[in-house]
Amino acid sequence: MLSLPSTSSYISRKKYDVFLSFRGEDTRKNFTDHLYAALKRSGIVTFRDDPKLEAGEEIAPELFKAIQQSWCSVIVFSQTYAFSSWCLEELAEILQQHNNDDHKVFPIFYDVDPSDLRKQKGKVEEAFARHEERYKEESEKIQRWRNALIHVAAIKGWHLNDRHESEFIRDIVKKISAKLCQTYPVTHSDLVGISERLEDLYLKINIGEDDVRVIGICRMGGIGKTTLARVAYTQMSPHFEGKSFVADIREVSDKCGLVSLQKQLLSQIFHGECFNFFDVHEGSDIISHRLSHKKVLVVLDNVDNIQHLKCLVGRHDWFGLGSRIVVTTRDEHLLRCCQVNDVYMPTTLNPKDALQLFSLKAFHSDTVQKDDFIELSKHVVNYAGGLPLALEVFGSFLCGRDATQWRSAIERLKRDSNKEILDKLRISLDGLEEREKNIFLDIACFFNGENKDFVIKVLNGCEFFPDIGIDVLVKKSLLNIDEHNKYLKMHDLLQEMGRTIVKEKCIDEPGKRCRLWEERDVHHVLTKNTATEMIEGIIIDNKRESNKMLNLSVNTFLKMKKLRLLKVLCLSNCDDLKYLSNELRLLDWTGYPLRYLPSSFQPDNLVALFLPYSHIQQLWKGNRWVSKPDQDTRLHNSIKS
């Protein structure tokens, strides 16, 4: 949803992150060995030559290749570095790569004065006297070594001075880690403009500092907050002792509670360890105790409640020095209340990047392929206002259509030009068949985040042909399936668009809408008795309206003749029930309070029956003949009590 970096900004990942250049007899078994181990612990891929290679006079070809395949060289200048023809040959090659291939160079002055190296005095002067004696006929080589030493010694580097080596090495590794984070390539082919965003974000994250930082990423839905956080997480994670990406916190919290989020965070950081606690306060105590001395990277995605932050990342001192916590949310006020260190506000894409992203979706190319579509594409891109999600949806919708259809779509956009982004996205539904629209609306209202196979079974029962319908929605960027191909995921903005479409069928009276999910609307319909046969699906969840007692009457569902989907999650009371629609495909009632289902109910169309924690004794009072014996078995097997 962000986009592919331009060729000039794209850095191919090298085989090695770091090439270590050093004089073996000076530092191999002490400083350089400790530095190599520290780099390796931080996940930095480092080349260190085999000591057996030093037996020869000439530098081994594999060392030249290793330099060329490394992103940077770290040169440990020690007292006798310049005495080694091997080291000087390495240095000359490093300088050549630095000049020709943007190879980074980081000098370390280990008890050496860089001015002695540049002016070639003292031991350096003595070393070159020996080289000139040995290589009398190779004056050009000697001069090349001298030039390399002068140039590299002039580069700003790190000085040991009187510092402890362990502290010195720790600082070196931190700074290399911070620089490396910004060089790893983005591998997703549809990420446009992400390089600049990452650069701005890393300035705020400031990974090289030895403090604890909480950084927010805040903007409206559809702008790419989660995508940006995911890429940054992937790039930075090798430089931390533990990591956790807690996705879609708002939805997971509503479904599973805060304790499940705490367990997820801990389990991702402490691989394989099982955490058995059932209280939020206990979970907070465990997080603060176990992570207080551990350098971790935590991303909390889609936070919408301050309790999420209090329970998961309470205070800075819950985490070890160097830790970074990144929070994505639409609510800037929430971040400010939690006193985050900084907030990054990603902007919409600039016109050039917006056109590139749109072209990727509409033409499967970085640029508009046909002259007829250039101006039309600019109209659409301008209308989308640089919002990545809108560009993706519009591009997918228009892909493969002719210019006449494009003009028709753009004319519609012009008529609705005063409406907000939800209306901008709605045009993507125009190309859908009626069944595909119904699938989209059912998922938006009831099944976002649910198991794909389960949803397909229910929608198959509705005769919506979901196998092909869901594939159409995915290809039109209206729906996603998670990386394990298990769960359906719809972007918040698209879900909001679908729900808005349903509400607009009758703004003033929710009982005349086809789908009901909001507690306020459901409470109105059931208490005011305004239900109609228009209602096809309803979720009854009275937990947030607990101050308003909701009691179902015997005829609550009598007018809902077309009801296909019924989920009851929380209900105050139900004395009796005389009617359920024979059109039901899904009946999911937690804590069903009666001993039987209504005797008039004919479950011929029912696909799934869930009655967890219910008072039911048998499905029907008395003997019943069921038209589909295999279905009757499925119903009994689906009861959870």
Residues designated catalytic: 90
Tokens standing for residue 276 = 């058995």
Torsions phi, psi of 279, nearest 5? -130, 135
Tell me if 598 sits within 8 A of 578, measured CB to CB. Answer: yes
Q: 46 in the Ramachandran plot: left (φ > 0), alpha (ψ -120 to 50) or beta?
A: beta
The whole-angstrom separation of Cα 204 and Cα 220 is 20
Cβ contact 237:210 at 8 Å: no
CA dist 146 and 108 (Å) reads 18
Distance CA 383, CA 390 (A): 9
User: Strand ranges (DSSP E) for 117-174?
Assistant: 158-159
Nearest to 91 by CA among 42, 127, 126, 40: 127
How far is the C-alpha of 447 from the C-alpha of 455, rounded, in Å? 7
Query: In the chain, what is the greatest distance between 2 CA atoms, to the nearest angstrom?
Result: 111
CB burial of residue 287 (10 Å; 0-12, 13-18, 19+):
buried
Burial class of residue 211 in the structure, from the number of CB atoms within 10 Å of its CB (0-12 exposed, 13-18 middle, 19+ buried): exposed
Cα dist from 263 to 59, 257, 272, 280, whole Å: 53, 11, 12, 10
Residues 202 and 232: beta-carbon distance below 8 Å: yes
Q: Among 500, 532, 603, 516, which Cα is nearest to 568's?
A: 516
